[in-house]
Chain A
Amino acid sequence: MNNNIIILPIIIPMITAVLLIFFNKQEKVQKYLSAVSSVINIGISVFLVHYVHTNGIISLEVGDWKAPFGIVLVADMYAILLVLTANIIVFACLLFSYKIVDYHRSKFFYYSGVMFLLTGVSGAFLTGDLFNLFVFYEVMLMSSYFLIVHGNSKPQLRETIKYILVNVISSALFVISVAFLYAVTGTLNMADLSLRVAELGSSGIIAAISIMYLIVFGLKGAIFPLFFWMPGSYQAPPAAVTALFGALLTKVGVYSITRVFTLIFLQDIAFTHTFIAWLAVLTIIFGVIGAISFSDIKQIVIYNILTGVGVILFGVSTMTKSGLEGSVYYMIHDMIIKGLLFLLVGIVFSITGTTNLEKFSGLIKKYPTLGWMFFIAALALAGIPPLSGFIGKLKIVQGGFEQGEFVLAFAVLLSSLLVLYSVMKIFINGFWGEEKIPQVLETSQVKSLYVPAAFLLALSLFYGLGTEFISSYIKQAEQVLLSPDLYIEAVLKE
């Protein structure tokens, strides 16, 4: 059987990125080429979601080498849903970039960088091999180094140095963790690892390695004691890039934690998963503290990423049917909504020239569309019932209660209130009140910026209102997470 179609979401952005290097002087070619390839990619991802939905997990043995020996790419429902979401976010961010990024920057390979970032992200979601995961992490991180410094302003340079330093250290830790696990088990294929770790039973060394993986992926995904690099690094680059980072990069870390702790390290759940649960709740607490303490709208949204990561991880740590289902729901919602919020922040910035709440107010009179879009996005972020954030958080809290973790589950619930407060603060101080705008952009100029944001908002609305329609896909994703046998069988085909 030939499942070459799995490689397409990785290979198409890669080819596009290479072709864009050849056409770096022609701005038109860059825009059309990247848009077309992005649309094709969305089409393929939708087809793959449908295909996996009907045929179950599919895997591709790259280079025709049998499973534990070669590299496998595995498309289970969770991975392929995330690939689809990532492609949609990239499409929206590309549309936004066309208006924001000028020729001077785009001729220095901006769109190639975005496409390589997408290559890394899709690869990290689809791979079934631990070292291959590392390689795709590096593809993703290298492009993110490039995108974060692209434009050459002073704060960008400063934050890039910090960002690279942290990520180089975490990558080295990743390699060390892979080496340890390889020394103990002798394999790198995730499905095979799962079997061998299960054979070893609960030994101390496996527990230690699992915590090392938690630290590594926690550094990438910004969980509680390891998030210190994020607020500064995400503040520096322009809005379109921050939207890509906020929606994709941390989520890859969270996805990796989910994958590793639902597939491989299952021997000592009482220790590892309780540990994750506590870290998740602390992440949430620090996230909301940051979000309510700042009066800079970009910082508020950045700290809300932390809260989102914490909520997803708490769902994973419960290891119950509803908890995992909720974390899948919340993951996709969080990617869309963070992309949307950063785009809205970008629009506000290009109107007012500042992101400081104390410097502007009363935007809603001149820009009512923007105001109400922000209002709906804020409600969706907090998880108000008909909107997209609701069902995920409901299921996660339900999972927490099923496990008897009442205190932690209540902390997750209470965090919603503070998240709502933090974004409503933006709405009340920035959009209401008397009109005070440092600089004014013509409404016609802003209108074209609304398109990508409106696209993501519509998607988020559909995700919230069409839960009925989506739930069968999510259930399938959750099944694989809950019973790793399905995954192992699909890969090793015994």
Chain B
Amino acid sequence: MKKTGLKTNDLILQTITKIVLFIVIIFSFHLFFAGHNAPGGGFIGGLITSGAIVLLLIAFDVKTVKSILPINYVKVAAFGLLIAILSGIGSFLFGVPFLSHTHGHVHIPLLGDTHLATAVIFDLGVYFVVVGVTMTIIQTIGETE
């Protein structure tokens, strides 16, 4: 981009970003939870969430996004890894082999009869790892001169 000294006016981009951002994030959550019975899961959910944050980075600049989301993404990735490992180790407590998962129907007040699986916890770990790694890569490359 040519440096003109003038600040470019990207009002339209920024306004649309503010609206679209939430739609994208909700879609990524939808994909994340759909993973058990339909296409989706932690990987694609994480990628789309980071896609939303990248949209923020495009519409605003690195500094602004850092002040909105003061997150250390390396730690996010490590946190996700920890969740994934712990979801596997949880099986030690029940005396079954590593990474054994279980599921069951639970009655939750508002949602009614819900099918819950512990595999979601593992997927949550994957989700965090993908968000963490993608954002680390993009931010690191974006910040180096």
**Residues on A facing B (Cβ under 8 Å):** 2-4, 7, 11, 14-15, 18-19, 21-22, 60-64
Interface centre among A14, A60, A63 (most CB of B within 10 A): A63
Interface centre among A11, A19, A64 (most CB of B within 10 A): A64
Check B139 for interface membership: any CB of A closer than 8 A.
no
Contacts of A22 in B (CB 8 A): 75, 78
A21 touches B97 (CB 8 A): no
The smallest C-beta distance from B100 to any residue of chain A, in angstroms, reads 4
A61 CA to B99 CA in the complex, in Å? Answer: 10
Which residue from chain B places its CB closest to the CB of A61 in the assembled complex?
B97
Contacts of B99 in A (CB 8 A): 62-63
A4 CA to B94 CA in the complex, in Å? Answer: 11
Residues 96-124 of chain B, each 1 if its beta carbon lies under 8 Å from chain A, else 0? 11111100000000000000000000000
A19 CA to B79 CA in the complex, in Å? Answer: 9
Interface residues of B in 69-111 (CB under 8 A from A): 74-75, 77-78, 81-82, 85, 88-89, 91-92, 95-101
Secondary structure at the A interface, as helix, strand, loop or mixed, is: helix
Q: Taking A2-B96, A4-B92 as contacts, is the C-beta distance between A15 and B85 under 8 angstroms?
A: yes
Q: A18-B85, A64-B97 are in contact. List 4 more A-B contacts (CB 8 A).
A: A4-B97, A7-B98, A63-B98, A63-B99
Contacts of A62 in B (CB 8 A): 97-99
A15 CA to B85 CA in the complex, in Å? Answer: 7
CB < 8 Å neighbour of A21 from B78, B88, B91: B78
A4 CA to B89 CA in the complex, in Å? Answer: 9
CB < 8 Å neighbour of B97 from A15, A18, A60: A60
Which residue from chain A places its CB closest to the CB of B80 in the assembled complex?
A18
B85 touches A21 (CB 8 A): no
CB < 8 Å neighbour of A63 from B81, B82, B89, B100: B100
A7 CA to B100 CA in the complex, in Å? Answer: 13
Q: Taking A11-B85, A14-B85, A15-B85 as contacts, is the C-beta distance between A2 and B78 under 8 angstroms?
A: no
Please report the total number of B residues contacting A with Cβ < 8 Å: 18
Contacts of B78 in A (CB 8 A): 18, 21-22
A333 CA to B103 CA in the complex, in Å? Answer: 48
B75 touches A21 (CB 8 A): yes
A438 CA to B89 CA in the complex, in Å? Answer: 53
Contacts of A4 in B (CB 8 A): 91-92, 97-98
Which residue from chain A places its CB closest to the CB of B100 in the assembled complex?
A64
Contacts of B100 in A (CB 8 A): 63-64
The smallest C-beta distance from B25 to any residue of chain A, in angstroms, reads 26
Contacts of B88 in A (CB 8 A): 11
- Which 8 A-B pairs rank lowest in CB-CB distance, beginning with the nearest? A21-B78, A64-B100, A63-B99, A7-B98, A18-B81, A64-B97, A18-B82, A62-B99
Interface centre among B75, B78, B96 (most CB of A within 10 A): B78
Which residue from chain B places its CB closest to the CB of A3 in the assembled complex?
B97
The smallest C-beta distance from B65 to any residue of chain A, in angstroms, reads 22
CB < 8 Å neighbour of B96 from A11, A19, A64: A64
B101 touches A2 (CB 8 A): no
Interface residues of B in 37-95 (CB under 8 A from A): 74-75, 77-78, 81-82, 85, 88-89, 91-92, 95
A379 CA to B78 CA in the complex, in Å? Answer: 45
A78 CA to B9 CA in the complex, in Å? Answer: 67
Contacts of A63 in B (CB 8 A): 97-101
CB < 8 Å neighbour of B98 from A18, A19, A60: A60
Contacts of B98 in A (CB 8 A): 4, 7, 11, 60, 62-63
A62 CA to B101 CA in the complex, in Å? Answer: 10
A21 CA to B97 CA in the complex, in Å? Answer: 27
Contacts of B81 in A (CB 8 A): 14, 18
Contacts of A21 in B (CB 8 A): 74-75, 77-78
The smallest C-beta distance from A170 to any residue of chain B, in angstroms, reads 24
The smallest C-beta distance from B131 to any residue of chain A, in angstroms, reads 15
Contacts of B92 in A (CB 8 A): 4
Contacts of A3 in B (CB 8 A): 97
A3 CA to B77 CA in the complex, in Å? Answer: 29
Q: Taking A18-B78, A22-B78, A63-B100 as contacts, is the C-beta distance between A2 and B95 under 8 angstroms?
A: yes
A18 CA to B81 CA in the complex, in Å? Answer: 7
The smallest C-beta distance from A132 to any residue of chain B, in angstroms, reads 12
A21 CA to B88 CA in the complex, in Å? Answer: 20
The smallest C-beta distance from B74 to any residue of chain A, in angstroms, reads 6
The smallest C-beta distance from A176 to any residue of chain B, in angstroms, reads 23
Contacts of A64 in B (CB 8 A): 96-97, 100
Which residue from chain B places its CB closest to the CB of A7 in the assembled complex?
B98
Contacts of A11 in B (CB 8 A): 85, 88-89, 98
The smallest C-beta distance from A43 to any residue of chain B, in angstroms, reads 18
Contacts of B74 in A (CB 8 A): 21
